[in-house]
Amino acid sequence: MASYVELVEVTKVYQMGEVTINAADGISFEIEKGEFVVIVGPSGAGKTTVLNILGGMDSCTSGQVFVDGVDIARYDETQLTDYRREDVGFVFQFYNLIGNLTALENVELALQICKDPLEAVGIMCEVGLEERLDNFPAQLSGGEQQRVAIARALAKNPKLMLCDEPTGALDYQTGKAILKLLQDMCRTKGMTVVVITHNQALTPMADRVIYLKNGRVEQVSKNPDPESVENIEW
């Protein structure tokens, strides 16, 4: 039985004029369903490339990417779009909310194109924003914005939730709260959450930690007993 998510020898080569950059140089790893995964590595290690490929935003040069048993590496653009729309929830570092939509509407934006969405207001309650439904992103704090973003990602009920430095633009406490939320979602809903970060401190909270370096997987470690976010300091 194959893993829920499996990358097999994924490479990504960018041709920048004369220079060839191997952003991913044969990355392989597996992720089980319902795991909280942290992919960690320094700048230029290939984190974003992995995120792009896993998120269906970019295709790999070679290799295979299985998500729930389907090789998305072979997907064409349309299929990739559908993949993103149905199977992947994104949480960005800068939240990327639509500025002139309210918090609720931002969530609904995602639901609108999704086949099997969750109920928007309910999700907003779950992320603790029941009071801020009709507020515009500009009227929300960073944490609140990120919660909206998480709600937006969750509402789609995706197979995979990809979070790109979700706390990168947040202060310590807020960041912690966001991570807690993510962890809770993972635990309570059995969501597969992949957090991409350069912050080594977050690794204890993950079920599985994938270390990347220079476009390769340096190490994959499994945490049989991950810490709660509250207990992690950085």
Pick 126 or 164: Cβ nearer another protein:
164
Q: State the DSSP H helix or E strand holding residue 26, giving kind and residue range, or none if neither.
A: strand 19-31
Indicate whether 164 belongs to the interface with another protein (CB under 8 A). yes
Closest by Cα among 192, 189, 188 to 207: 192
Minimum Å distance from CB 56 to another protein?
Answer: 8
The DSSP result for 148-187, as a single string, is HHHHHHHHT--SEEEEESTTTTS-HHHHHHHHHHHHHHHH
Indicate whether 78 belongs to the interface with another protein (CB under 8 A). yes
d(CA 134, CA 105): 8
d(CA 7, CA 5): 7
Indicate whether 32 belongs to the interface with another protein (CB under 8 A). no
Pick 45 or 229: Cβ nearer another protein:
45
Interacting stretch for another protein, rule CB under 8 A, among 33-41, 60-68, 79-87, 172-180?
A: 79-87
Which parts of this chain interact with another protein (CB under 8 A)?
Answer: 48, 51-52, 55, 57-58, 78, 81-86, 88, 90, 92-94, 96, 98-102, 105, 108-110, 112-114, 136-139, 152, 164, 169
